[in-house]
Amino acid sequence: MTETALLSSGAYADAVATATRAAAAYYTDGATPLGDDEYDVLVRAIAAYEQAHPQEVLPDSPTGKVAGGAVQGDVPHSVPMLSLDNVFTAEELADWAAGLERRLGRAPAGWCVEPKLDGLAVAARYRGGRLRRVITRGDGLAGEDISHAAGDVLGLPEHLTEAVDVELRGEVLLTREQFERANEIRTEHGAVPFANPRNGAAGTLRAKDRPYRIELTFFAYDAVGLGEELGHSALLERLAALGANTAATTAAAPRRCETVEQVQQRVEEIAGLRAELPFGIDGVVIKADDAADQQQAGSGSRAPRWAVARKLAAEHKVTRLLDVEWAVGRTGIIAPRAVLEPVVIDGVTVTYATLHNPADIERRGLMLGDQVFVYRAGDVIPRVEAPLVDERTGAERPIVFPEACPRCGDAIDTAEQRWRCARGRNCQAVASIIYAAGRDQLDIEGLGSTRAVQLVEAGLVADLADVFELTREQLLALDRMGETSTDNLLAAIGTARTRPLNRALCALGIRGTGRSMSRRIAAHFGSMAAIRAADAEALAEVDGMGPEKARLMVAELAELAPLLDRLAALGVGTAVTEPTAPRPAADAEPAAAAAAGPLGGQAVVVTGSMTGPLAALSRNEMNELIERAGGKASSSVSKRTTLLVAGEKAGSKRAKAEELAIRILTPDEFADLVAAHLPRA
């Protein structure tokens, strides 16, 4: 169904019933079997039918009602808490803005653009600056008292900075981190995990007498009692001054725009930041910023005429779990993957999603045939959140875990949450060789997937050390290996012996030691011998390592000892690498190490296409350059970022850096700054 398809009379009645049930589930505990996109399409189809047949409108229709008419309350609001009208495209937003201009007889004096938070709307009443009551929006006229949960909500202070009588209005939600922690707590207490953050926020706020506490976060976006003369931007500043949390502290901070073109640009910027935000958003809110414009435009029974929500494609969808596949990775990790009934999320058709590990499957209580929430943000790999337990029919089946390695049939090591083939890397020799030869590891040109398979199947290569023992005669005996190809491959293997320590370490594929971590470890210890001699306590001192990763690395280094001995004898990974910045003596100031190099103490992010001297560098090589120059490479812009290298088409990261007043350099300017550390041609 599309929003332009006109329903029949019978289909209209069915659509109203379906929408009513979905709204009731959504606004009570969030556990609706209908995704946001499907619900929006359904309501628009209902509205189209009602416009064509106004005499047939059913009393239960969700159109024109706050929360779709699905909820009520027993605590009256002093001023109605309205919903927002929605638009779904840039064209619809432009049409809405033009309509507001016609209503005002002129263009609004300015616009405020802010993220539409995906949580539960509440009103918090303060008397003399002290929190007295918290109420849900309900049907807009009256809500439900949830004051019992106020103590668990961050950003909702018990006392304001001034002794004022005011009602703060905003959204209570679970951040992504709070959501993960909430589900850990629930499963520890034998409860079913929340299906998604909104489900968790709604259920938590209404729950009483639980044997555990779940932390939530409040974001204020409106108030009653601070004076009608305040425009929206000024109101948000006033709320922050009173001690309330607002979206101004985030990358998607509210921003005043002077024109509709600027509004559209800001909408695109916030949409681009969506995956980086610590909480979920389902749209962007556009408001006439000046109080006089708001008062002149007025409000309808359901929504203000001076504000609208530009909805974004849903990140959560409901689909069916058809099967679970078990794949073996290059280190022998046995990873489950969900096979899904195809579903479109954020413009991408999703048929597979990660399930992390067997413990995760058990924690979420999944069964084959379940309807499940699937989540996708930006370019993040889709993942299954939780089943809709209330939608089970009895036909669902338990997920069968493998009893032997699905690749080689050997035993499975189940000592850790992530199961592993007892043969480890030897189970996936081809994958290990391909990874080690990759551009960001040893960069062995000519040793791609086809050649790796050929070498393994011929019995010439079983591990990485075998690659460095290949002879010209062995290679010439292979199919499709002439003298030129053989000599080129042997030359590339010879060059790989001299790769920096961090590349050799990364090529081993040790769990938890990707490109960035390998650089940090190499810089910290300086040689493979020092790394192998380090215990878990010493490894845990590396920035970002931590005790758990350190323990796993010690175990894997011990497992790899025979291979490492052979590689050392072959001259691979034996070069001594000086730390990025000289480590101070034990009695020296800790800051001394950070002071060396042109980027000493700097947190650097690279975005966009590099030009000039940097054009030929991969992103990994850029990160290596940053760390050689004394800096720390990062992939996302935050308050800790001190420098952004912005190339062509820098996009949202540049916008965020500008908001945070972070220093920005062009590729040429950055190349000049780190010229002494650039790789030699």
User: Which are the catalytic amino acids?
Assistant: 116
40-58 in b/e form (b: 16+ CB < 10 A) is bbbbbbbbbbbeeeeeebe
One-letter amino acid for residue 628 of the chain = R
Asked whether 232 and 226 are in contact (CB, 8 A), the reply is: no
The answer to whether the Cα torsion of 79, 85, 90, 92 is positive or negative is negative
560-589 in b/e form (b: 16+ CB < 10 A) is beeebebbeebebbbbebeebbebeeeeee
Find the helix or strand (DSSP H, E) in which 5 lies.
none
CA dist 392 and 371 (Å) reads 8
Asked whether 282 and 112 are in contact (CB, 8 A), the reply is: no
CA dist 46 and 57 (Å) reads 9
The three-class DSSP label of residue 340 is strand
One-letter amino acid for residue 579 of the chain = P
Reference 84, options 68, 106, 72; nearest CA is 68
CA dist 645 and 621 (Å) reads 14
What does each C-alpha distance from 604 to 77, 195, 502, 670, 672 come to in angstroms? Answer: 49, 36, 19, 11, 15
CA dist 550 and 64 (Å) reads 57
Task: Identify the residue whose tokens are 């929500």.
Answer: 309
- In 10 A of CB 32, how many CB atoms? 24
Q: Give the helix ranges, DSSP H, for 207-322.
A: 232-241, 260-273, 291-297
What does each C-alpha distance from 631 to 344, 437, 567, 658 come to in angstroms? Answer: 41, 27, 30, 20
The answer to whether the Cα torsion of 399, 404, 407, 413 is positive or negative is positive
What does each C-alpha distance from 370 to 3, 346, 367 come to in angstroms? Answer: 28, 22, 6
CA dist 370 and 207 (Å) reads 25
Task: Identify the residue whose tokens are 């044997």.
Answer: 211
Q: Give the helix ranges, DSSP H, for 402-471.
A: 429-436, 449-457, 464-467
CA dist 116 and 267 (Å) reads 11
Asked whether 419 and 441 are in contact (CB, 8 A), the reply is: no
Phi, psi of 400 (to 5 degrees): -90, 120
What does each C-alpha distance from 502 to 345, 490, 553 come to in angstroms? Answer: 38, 22, 15
Q: What share of the chain is helix, strand, coil (3-state, %, to 5)?
A: 40, 20, 40
> 59 Cβ partners below 8 Å, 6+ apart?
none
One-letter amino acid for residue 142 of the chain = A
200: Cα within 13 Å, side-chain hemisphere: 31
Asked whether 294 and 133 are in contact (CB, 8 A), the reply is: no
Find the helix or strand (DSSP H, E) in which 566 lies.
helix 561-569
**Paired residues of 317 in beta bridges:** 374
